[in-house]
A and B are shown apart, each in its own frame.
Chain A
Amino acid sequence: EPEVTQTPSHQVTQMGQEVILRCVPISNHLYFYWYRQILGQKVEFLVSFYNNEISEKSEIFDDQFSVERPDGSNFTLKIRSTKLEDSAMYFCASGTGDSNQPQHFGDGTRLSIL
């Protein structure tokens, strides 16, 4: 069964540095998403991406964040000037965009800011 893959599985970074989290969505999906889950808290939506542009973003997704689809397979989340509170699990998901179809999540990248 096709799956969403994310790299790295764990990223440790010094505060103030930039990180890039990578995702390869399922190949025939058209919608891509990033979510964040701080330890012990709920899954929070960050941004959705369709047709090479952001289709929706949450209040969390401010100027510190950006997304890109640099080629036909990868989907990246860049976090600039990382802060301690950016430490979380970051999940990439992809889907068909149909309201009755679930999003498929990757295994996540655990980001630890020191």
Chain B
Amino acid sequence: GQNIDQPTEMTATEGAIVQINCTYQTSGFNGLFWYQQHAGEAPTFLSYNVLDGLEEKGRFSSFLSRSKGYSYLLLKELQMKDSASYLCAVSSSGGSYIPTFGRGTSLIVHP
């Protein structure tokens, strides 16, 4: 099976940097996704990591360490609109690429 852990909630200040961690245990690994989900809306894709290291995409970066079963999503220059839930999802290599989602981290950005 798969187990994915994320903090339930985080708060940060507009303009600051925040790091959202995700740890996972999975039988086989085929990649890790980060999605953003605003309340009542669909998840939208942010990033994908399959190799160790940092992937940067504008204000958002995602890091992966496969040996540690660890990833983080880094959000820079926070804006109020970044208040959302951030979902870590892991794809296993057991014949299925369907990702398993964590419970998500609710990020609250305040002025």
Contacts and interface: CB of A to CB of B under 8 A. Distances in A.
A105 B50 contact: no
Dominant SS among interface residues on chain A: loop
B45 A99 contact: no
A91 B43 contact: yes
Nearest to A6: B42
Contacts, number: 48
A65 interface: no
B103 A48 contact: no
B104 to A, nearest CB: 6
B97 A99 contact: yes
B97 A45 contact: no
Contact of B103 (A42, A56, A89, A107): A42
A105 B44 contact: yes
B30 interface: yes
Dominant SS among interface residues on chain B: loop
Contacts of A41: 103
B103 A105 contact: no
B42 A108 contact: yes
B73 to A, nearest CB: 14
A50 to B, nearest CB: 11
Contacts of A43: 43, 87, 89, 101, 104
Given A43-B89, A45-B98, A105-B43, 11 more contacts: A42-B101, A43-B104, A45-B100, A45-B101, A89-B40, A91-B42, A99-B50, A103-B45, A104-B45, A107-B41, A110-B40
